[in-house]
A and B are shown apart, each in its own frame.
Chain A
């Protein structure tokens, strides 16, 4: 994403592109056309937000509902990011819902039955997730069993194991510190203002960092003799980004501040996004999904990369499991049912391709948010869960159908 969304195809390849509003619109349109998929979903998300904002008479974007929306969808977004990597690598993971339940169960046993301190329990839970991922990754990467089968088996296996560990019962309650992972906020500091102070500071830092990043990108594009987008449009873009973040920050700050789970998600989004864009292993994942044979012949260690992708998925499923258990403040045998399908749907809505090799971590988050806003908005206006399922199914179909149509139109 840092690289290519500034390509313009203006006929007049003079020194500086003319900075008239017309050319800016042109650039905007070409940019939209070439990145139809990503922007398309972003626009769809914005549309949904506006739709439900009007439909719910402004309830959707009330500060407490925004916080709620984030906390409600945190675990799905975490799963979706991991799932995106799995799908880019050309695989699928059906077991994540069961792993969520299993890890929740184990952490409940550790903390509720054995009074283990919650940070230690959290670390062990993540290690168990890694082990679960390694178990599945081993069969997929080194033995060569299709991921669909291995994770289908894992879905049954970990669900059964959850019931064994919990003996069919729910376990509760969790220590306060653990609950905070899903329910907590950054503590308030400093003098009383109308807003949550640390949140305002974080928002300001984020705005400065993002604009600095944009500026650096632009300078590099000039240095590489790539035509950057017209200055006026660039300023517009920066203002839009800043405005969105300021609005979001103020919304959060006027309630209880930044939820802990939002911090976790942002860390994952930045970290995984960076790995997928800039790290060798990220490139190898894209290459494997794009053309496995060519990647192997280029020296990509396909088995190792596949294995690591599943280990990563296991850790993220464990993290999601902890977040979910902390949110419910209980570990139940039926936790996480259908989560795998939500995560897979989020990844596909967010631009993943069935055949692998395509997709971004940000796309998974956007896809997850589309589903999340739909869920939340439809509940607020009182649409029953029966109709909600129907609508979500149609949205998934429409998103991927749009992708297929768009690809055929572009002819690639």
Chain B
């Protein structure tokens, strides 16, 4: 990468300041085949709100897992000092004993226990193994008041909204005498009002002396509450910037400045040169979605996708950019047989005719395919073979009177193994044994064989190495060259800029922009991806 630029953009933490509460030095963490963190430095001063931001996959969550002992000492390189002393957390309990508490994006509450029980879960107020309920309720009441939650401690977690559940997590953290609170995208699932309340609470906790690391990609939030911000990119620390000198000050840092740090990488990934589709129907509308609105499957009050409209033409690759929680996957899955959430409104036109895609077979029948972002959960049967995974959506085309032609099936799988370069000894190999890139090729093969006219590809290159990425880009290009309409969902902006003809941006469930490739830059996209509804 560009070492020179990084150094110039990364002002050293000044040593004369108050000593850091948390100091991380040259943290390197590798997973099999991937270097998630490389020489990451982070200094968090006592009593500050320190934001950490970066694109998806930049290493934010991994870094926080190192801080909290989820990745234990020894599984990473580098040193970590807490309160000036070197620390080596073996597990979460060890970090919690020092007062480091992490609140994950997916809340870790037991829905059918009461607020009080959840707050003291694993940390019960007990004497010789017998819980003192009076003590529990009294202390829970105090903590709930402190985080501004009006519900009585006996309320079940399942009966309160996500916003309030987030506050329960914080109360739980407070019960552990937290000194450093780590919040991983705390507002991703919250509506505006809940987000505002939560941010106010974080500020209030800072005034009480609790230090906070806030992972967020909502830049307006960072500007609203943070004192400093550290930008990560590709597993490296890019820079630490000061948002405000004193807690009460107005922010002195612009969103543009943060965005520059987040996206300033070289476009060193290569993309195949785009081939044109020359068919007579080139440029005809293949897919038109209008006014699509979907509510959350459980929290029916919340609209996860709101009034989304977009079009894709034959032979066109259209990007859909957005950060986590923007509603891209939710939009795609609800289009594909209403596989997500509760449909509220909106229409789908395929090749000019309005169609219903109420079930997955409906959607497939209308020539729509959805390649999931989560191939292990939604894409593959890991305990079955490559050929059976590929044939699953189109089994009836391989069968006569309900009986599958196993030979034809094998031939199909073999041809995909060759054309997609799936690395496996035979097509009878279980998919669970393949690498991520090869699994992704199986998922793509599966849907290409179903011969759809419209392909929705959701993060098709997530978690796979650069070489395999290029192969997948080539496949996508070939699909478009054969006249398929491709909707390409990705968090990686260079990839969208490298592959797409047009790019839509989404934020907070809405389509916030549409840019031609010629007009789009990472900055212009990122600005539209980080606008808030309010």
Contact call B383/A357, Cβ cutoff below 8 A: yes
Kindly specify which of B59-67, B109-117, B297-305, B373-381 makes contact with the partner chain: B373-381
Residue of B379, B388, B402, B428 touching A297 (CB-CB under 8 A) = B379
- Nearest CB of chain B from residue A176's CB, rounded to whole Å: 38
A280 within 8 Å of B by Cβ?
yes
Question: With the chains together, A298 CA to B399 CA distance in Å?
Answer: 16
Residues of A within 8 A of B395 (CB): 280, 283-284
List chain A residues, Cβ under 8 A from B391.
Answer: 283
Query: CB distance A287 to B379 under 8 Å?
Result: no
- The contact string, 1 if C-beta is below 8 Å from chain A, for chain B 406-418, is 1100100010000
Interface residue? B382 (CB, 8 A):
yes
B502 → chain A closest CB, angstroms = 26
By the criterion CB–CB under 8 Å, are A297 and B426 in contact? Answer: no
A293/B381 in contact, CB under 8 A = no
Q: Nearest-CB distance from B372 to chain A (Å)? A: 6
A358 to B430, CA, bound (A): 12
Whole-angstrom distance from the CB of A17 to the nearest CB of chain B? 16
Q: Smallest CB–CB gap between B411 and chain A, Å?
A: 8
In contact, A4 and B428 (Cβ under 8 angstroms): yes
Per the bound structure, the CA–CA distance linking A286 and B339 in Å amounts to 21
Q: Which residues of A contact B372 (CB under 8 A)?
A: 294, 297
Residues from 378 to 397 in B contacting A, C-beta threshold 8 Å: 378-385, 388, 391-393, 395-396
| Per-residue contact bits, chain A 278-319, to B (CB 8 Å; 1 contact, 0 not) | 111101101100110111111111000000000000000000
- State how many angstroms separate the Cβ of A13 from the closest Cβ of chain B: 11
B446 within 8 A of A: yes
Contact between B403 and A7, CB atoms less than 8 A apart: no
Asked if A224 is an interface residue, CB under 8 A from chain B, the answer is yes
Which residues of B sit under 8 angstroms from A299, Cβ to Cβ?
337, 360-361, 364, 393
* Interface range on chain A (Cβ under 8 Å from partner): 20 to 34
Contact of B404 among A280, A293, A357 (CB under 8 A): A280
Q: What is the distance, in angstroms, from B330's C-beta to the closest C-beta of chain A?
A: 14
Contact partner of B402 (CB less than 8 A), chosen from A224, A279, A357, is: A279
The verdict on A20 contacting chain B, using a C-beta distance below 8 Å, is no
| Whole-angstrom distance between the Cβ of A154 and the nearest chain B Cβ | 27
Q: Tell me whether A290 and B361 are in contact (CB under 8 A).
A: no
CB within 8 Å of A: which B276-328 residues? none
Residues A293 and B378 in contact, CB atoms below 8 Å apart: yes
**B488 within 8 A of partner (CB):** no
Bound Cα distance from A3 to B377, whole angstroms = 26
Bitwise interface map of B from 342 to 362 toward A, beta carbon under 8 Å scored 1, else 0: 000000000000000001110
Contact of B432 among A278, A293, A412 (CB under 8 A): A412
CB of B426, distance to nearest CB on chain A (Å): 6
B370 on interface, CB distance cutoff 8 Å: yes
Which interface residue of B382, B383, B388, B393 has the most chain A CB atoms within 10 A? B383
A286 touches B384 (CB 8 A): yes
- In angstroms, how far is the closest chain A Cβ from the Cβ of B505? 25
Contact A294/B380 with A3-B406, A280-B396 known, Cβ cut-off 8 Å: yes
Please, which residues of chain B bring their CB within 8 A of the CB of A277?
406
- How far, in whole Å, are A294 and B392 apart by their CA atoms in the complex? 10
In the bound complex, CA of A221 to CA of B481 (Å): 36
CB distance from B78 to the nearest CB of A (A): 30
- Other-chain contact of B426, A2, A226, A357 (Cβ < 8 Å): A226
A220 within 8 A of B: yes
Cα distance, A291 to B380, chains bound together (Å): 7
- B89 sits at the interface (CB 8 A): no
Please state if B428 and A283 are interface contacts (CB–CB under 8 Å): no
B446 contacts which chain A residues (CB < 8 A)? 298
Give complex CA distance A300, B381 in Å. 13
- With A278-B404, A283-B404, A298-B446 already in contact, the answer to whether A358 and B380 are too (CB < 8 A) is no
CB-based contact B381/A278 at 8 Å: no
Q: Which residue of A lies closest to B372 (CB)?
A: A297
Chain B 427-460 interface mask (CB, 8 Å, partner A; 1/0)? 0101011000000000000100000000000000
Pairwise interchain contact B383-A278, C-beta atoms closer than 8 A: no
A357 vs B428: C-alpha distance when bound (angstroms): 16
Docked complex Cα distance between A280 and B395 (Å): 6
Contact check, B378 vs A294: say whether CB atoms are below 8 A apart.
Answer: yes
Question: B504: CB under 8 A from chain A?
Answer: no
Complex Cα gap A286–B395 (Å): 13
- Contact A297:B378 (CB < 8 A) given known A226-B426, A290-B384, A357-B383: yes
Tell me if A290 and B381 are in contact (CB < 8 A): yes
Whole-angstrom distance between the alpha carbons of A323 and B364 in the complex?
Answer: 44
Contact B378 A278 (CB under 8 A): no
State the CA gap A2–B385 with chains docked (Å): 14
Q: Is B82 an interface residue (CB 8 A)?
A: no
Q: Kindly state the separation between the CA atoms of A174 and B247 in the bound complex, as whole angstroms.
A: 91
Query: Is B336 among interface residues, defined by CB-CB distance under 8 A?
Result: yes
Say yes or no: A3-B428 contact (C-beta < 8 A), given A293-B377, A297-B360. yes
CA distance A278 to B410 in the complex (A): 13
A301 near B361 with CB under 8 A, answer yes
Interface membership of chain A positions 33-76, coded 1 if the CB is closer than 8 angstroms to chain B and 0 otherwise: 00000000000000000000000000000000000000000000
Q: Which residues of B lie under 8 Å from residue A283 when comparing CB positions? A: 388, 391-392, 395, 404
Chain A 221-265 residues near chain B, CB threshold 8 A? 224, 226
CB-based contact B381/A286 at 8 Å:
yes
Closest Cβ of chain B to A210, distance in Å, is 19
- Contact yes or no, A281 B402, CB < 8 A: yes
* Given contacts A279-B404, A281-B402, A293-B377, A224 and B432 within 8 Å (CB-CB): no
A317-370 contacts to B (CB < 8 Å): 357-358
In angstroms, Cα B381 to Cα A286, docked, is 9
CA distance A297 to B414 in the complex (A): 23
Task: From the candidates B382, B402, B407, B428, name the one contacting A280 in the complex (CB within 8 A).
Answer: B402
Give A158 to B320 CA distance when docked, in angstroms.
55
- Encoded as 1 (CB less than 8 Å from any A CB) or 0, chain B from 9 to 48 comes to 0000000000000000000000000000000000000000
Q: How far is the CA of A277 from the CA of B414 in the complex (A)?
A: 19
Residues of B within 8 A of A281 (CB): 402
Instruction: Output the least CB separation between B377 and chain A (Å).
Output: 6
**B392 lies within 8 A of A298 (CB):** yes
Q: Are B381 and A294 in contact (CB under 8 A)?
A: yes
One of B399, B426, B433 near A7 (C-beta < 8 A): B426
Q: Which of A291, A298, A301, A358 contacts B393 (CB 8 A)?
A: A298
Shortest B409–chain A CB gap in Å is 9
- Assess the B399–A280 pair: CB atoms within 8 A: yes
Measured between alpha carbons, how far is A297 from B392 in the docked complex, in Å?
A: 10
- Assuming the contacts A278-B403, A283-B392, A297-B339, asked whether A7 and B428 have C-beta atoms less than 8 A apart, the reply is yes
> What A residues does B406 contact at CB under 8 A?
2-3, 277-278
Bound complex: CA of A277 vs CA of B409, how far in Å? 13
**A297 in contact with B381 (CB, 8 Å):** no
Most buried by A among B378, B391, B392, B414: B392
Contacting residues, chain A, for B382 (C-beta < 8 A) = 290-291
Closest to B391 in A: A283
> Which chain A residues in 1-41 approach chain B with CB under 8 Å?
2-4, 7
On B, residues with C-beta under 8 Å from A are: 336-337, 339, 359-361, 364, 370, 372, 377-385, 388, 391-393, 395-396, 399, 402-404, 406-407, 410, 414, 425-426, 428, 430, 432-433, 446
Taking A3-B406, A286-B388 as known contacts, 10 extra A-B pairs with beta carbons closer than 8 A to each other, sorted by chain A number, are A7-B425, A7-B426, A278-B406, A280-B395, A284-B395, A286-B381, A290-B381, A294-B372, A294-B378, A298-B360
Interface CB pairs A-B, < 8 A, 16: A2-B406, A7-B426, A7-B428, A224-B410, A280-B395, A283-B388, A287-B381, A287-B392, A293-B377, A297-B336, A297-B372, A298-B393, A299-B393, A412-B383, A412-B432, A412-B433
The 8 closest A-B pairs by CB, nearest first: A290-B381, A298-B393, A4-B428, A291-B381, A298-B392, A299-B360, A280-B395, A299-B361
Measuring CB to CB, which residues of chain A are less than 8 angstroms from any residue of chain B?
Answer: 2-4, 7, 220, 224, 226, 277-281, 283-284, 286-287, 290-291, 293-301, 357-358, 412
